[in-house]
Amino acid sequence: MPYLDRSGTRIYYEVTEGPGGPPPLLLSHGYGASARMWRPNLAALAADRTVITWDMRGHGASDSPDDPEQYSHAACVADMAALLDAAGAERAVVGGLSLGGFVSLEFVLAHPQRVDAVMLFDTGPGYRSDQARQQWNERAFKTADRLERDGVTALGGSAEADYGHRSARGLALAARGMLAQRDGHVIEALTSVKVPVLVLVGARDKPFVAAADYLTAKVPGAVKVVVPDAGHMSNADQPDLFDQAVLDFLGGLS
């Protein structure tokens, strides 16, 4: 299995080869998922360009370091840049679902010169309000507490089998350090995003429908797509419609 060594922390990734030419697509998963969540979409998306998927630290087959300081949005952004370096890619289209979309926004703000476009799936922009941020963080911290008490089963369903998680502690640390929000710098910087942006959301993902409307209003030129009969995991609920929306967006890039 391919791993990237990040100062002793191994980051698992997969490269699905597509046609040469266009910059690759770097896809980041949501909290509690892993690179496996993109399996329903890889065949279609890799027909357009190479696709890189990966497991965030604490998730899936990636390592779970003991130091809480190693779990942060900044660490995710640095991991993403290192993945592109390992793939020999100066630039990429970056995209992700939920937390993966948020760190994709973080990435374009930190490395605008390396991004051709951004795709945000069922993603929120963070919070300007301290109170709203605190409420979100309280939910994230409760998720961490459940994981430490009950193990990976606290995520519900068959997350351990579906996503290959190896460490409930890693997921708990990721909830406290990566799922939690620290400030409003991303939501405050949305108007500075200058690359094409796709905002896609499942019609049944009610909290994130409002977030999609906000992102579309604030990001210059953002294109919004609502996927019918899909919830938060829009890529898995309606893979054909999801794939077509992504391919249409990618096809329109100059």
Selection from 57, 80, 59, 56 nearest residue 67 by Cα: 57
Alpha helices in the chain (DSSP H): 42-45, 73-86, 99-110, 130-150, 159-163, 168-174, 185-188, 206-218, 234-237, 239-251
Question: Would residue 144 count as lying in a domain?
Answer: no
Integer Cα distance of 166 and 62 in angstroms: 8
Q: Containing H/E element for 128?
A: none
pLDDT of residue 20: 77
pLDDT of residue 77: 98
Question: Would residue 11 count as lying in a domain?
Answer: yes
pLDDT of residue 159: 74
Question: Would residue 163 count as lying in a domain?
Answer: no
Integer Cα distance of 55 and 165 in angstroms: 10
Question: Would residue 77 count as lying in a domain?
Answer: yes
Question: Would residue 149 count as lying in a domain?
Answer: no
Question: Would residue 79 count as lying in a domain?
Answer: yes
Domain range for 83 is: 3-130+184-251
pLDDT of residue 200: 98
Integer Cα distance of 241 and 187 in angstroms: 28
Question: Would residue 236 count as lying in a domain?
Answer: yes
pLDDT of residue 1: 65
* Adjacent-strand bridge partners of 95: 27, 119
CATH of the domain at 125: 3.40.50.1820
What one-character-per-residue DSSP string does 162-205 give?
Answer: HH----HHHHHHHIIIIIS---SHHHHTGGG--S-EEEEEETT-
**Angle of helix 73-86 versus helix 99-110 axis, rounded to 10:** 70
Nearest 5 degrees, angle CA 166-CA 169-CA 171?
75
Number of domains in the chain: 1
By DSSP bridging, strand 3-6 and strand 51-54 are unpaired
pLDDT of residue 109: 98
Question: Would residue 96 count as lying in a domain?
Answer: yes
pLDDT of residue 254: 66
Longest dimension (CA), the chain: 50
pLDDT tens for the chain, 254 residues long, are 699 999 999 999 999 999 878 999 999 999 999 999 999 999 999 998 999 999 999 999 999 999 999 999 999 999 999 999 999 999 999 999 999 999 999 999 999 999 999 999 999 999 999 999 999 999 999 999 999 999 999 998 777 779 999 999 999 999 999 999 999 999 999 999 999 999 999 999 999 999 999 999 999 999 999 999 999 999 999 999 999 999 999 999 96
CB 224, CB 199: distance < 8 Å: yes
What is the DSSP-derived secondary structure letter of residue 18? -
CB 83, CB 13: distance < 8 Å: yes
